[in-house]
Amino acid sequence: MTPRDSHAATLLLDGSVLVTGGDGVKTSNLAKAELYDPNSGSWTATGKLTEGRRGHTATLLSDGTVLVAGGWSDRSDLVPSATAELYDPSTGKWVATARMAAARAGHTATLLADGTVLLAGGLSYCCGNGGPLDVAELFDPRTGSWTKTASMLKVRGDHTATLLPNGTVLVIGGIGRKTDDVAPINTTLAAAEIYDPATKAWTATRHLNEGRAGHTATLLNDGSVLVTRMGSQGSAELFDASTGSTAATGNMDLIRFNHDATLLPDRTVLVVGNSSEDDDASRRSAELYHPRSGRWTRIESMNIGRDGHTVTLLANGTVLVAGGNDESGRPVAAAELYDPGTSS
């Protein structure tokens, strides 16, 4: 694959993986896209985005096309884009669609039960205070148009959004703003809120035990959400969607941020990548969360330490880890597979 980090990876209906954009070795905010074929283990270039971008979202739609939205633009590495485009796997072509109401990067995109996509929050400019947003909007694939919906209760970027079993969307943490200062500054949020597509309204829910950004939020089989991010002792906690309560669970072996978490077929959660210790051994490390016991176990490390990578669960149950940057901060082209059935 092309060396890249801060890209997006999307599992397509045919089982292949679409990788888009990212930061390259010589070119920031790539317009290149490629496909990974699990059957052959090969990568193939597929079209070119209408605009280079990183920190964007790429969402598989109900009809098998992919919506790519926002991100830091190739027109200015400090300013996010308001553009969006669609990828058609049947033709390998990219087509621009309607612009969003707000330019943003570090936002979330969630496919709802009715086939529309909820985009929420994000950052309005890079560096400095980051300008987190509360703006939310809906993309309708049938019309190719965006419609603003109710704003979030908190401005936030680099948060997570999780589709719950009842069809609502849980938004957790992220970079927010202190509102009690004369000159507002960024803060890490513990606040959480839920969007209800039926009422198109946001409702505050129980705060996390500690503020988190650069975290993960993974829906478990019992309907609870596992939240992980660097904190005291690599803390993790569980959000119970049925009660709106939170509870601490076992601590990760390492303190991590900007890592990835993936629910495996055996119901454990694979966590890989970046550690606050920032040495190659820690960045290569991987561990599993066991929901029944609430404990973490270290497993075989990756071949390369990574940050800004993507992790995709394939149809055959293996996990594809692709790209990212190495200990020196350079984007890598390496990809590798984790097999839950043979690794330990």
Residue among 297, 296, 300 at smallest CA distance from 284: 300
Pairing of strands 160-163, 286-290: unpaired
Residue 282 covered by a domain? yes
Q: Distance between CA atoms of 207 and 214, rounded to whole angstroms?
A: 17
Report the pLDDT value the prediction gives residue 344, as an integer from 0 to 100: 45
Q: Which residues make beta-bridge pairs with 117?
A: 111, 139
Rounded to 5 degrees, what are φ and ψ at 123?
-110, 140
- Asked whether the beta carbons of 327 and 305 are under 8 A apart, the reply is yes
Residue among 58, 164, 150 at smallest CA distance from 109: 58
Query: Residue 275: is its pLDDT beyond 90?
Result: no
Residue 55 covered by a domain? no
Q: What is the pLDDT of residues 39-55, one digit of tens each?
A: 999 999 999 999 999 99
CA 135 to chain centre: 18
pTM of the model: 0.93
Q: How far is residue 296 from each of residues 109, 153, 281, 292, measured CA to CA in Å?
A: 29, 34, 18, 11
The range of the structural domain enclosing residue 260 comes to 252-344
Q: Mean per-residue pLDDT for 213-242?
A: 85
Query: Residue 83: is its pLDDT beyond 80?
Result: yes
Residue 258 covered by a domain? yes
DSSP-derived letter for residue 105 is B
Q: What is the pLDDT of residues 115-155, one digit of tens each?
A: 999 999 999 876 555 689 999 999 999 999 999 999 999 99
Place of tokens 């938004």: 171
- Asked whether the beta carbons of 275 and 283 are under 8 A apart, the reply is yes
Rounded to 5 degrees, what are φ and ψ at 216?
-125, 155
Residue 93 covered by a domain? no
Q: Name every residue whose Cβ is closer than 8 Å to that of residue 89 and which is 6 or more positions away in sequence.
A: 12, 13, 14, 16, 18, 64, 65, 66
- Asked whether the beta carbons of 269 and 318 are under 8 A apart, the reply is no
Residue 284 covered by a domain? yes
Residue 270 covered by a domain? yes
Q: Distance between CA atoms of 138 and 20, rounded to whole angstroms?
A: 22
- Asked whether the beta carbons of 7 and 310 are under 8 A apart, the reply is yes
Report how many domains make up the chain.
Answer: 1
Residue 318 covered by a domain? yes
Residue 4 covered by a domain? no
DSSP-derived letter for residue 63 is T
Report the pLDDT value the prediction gives residue 243, as an integer from 0 to 100: 87
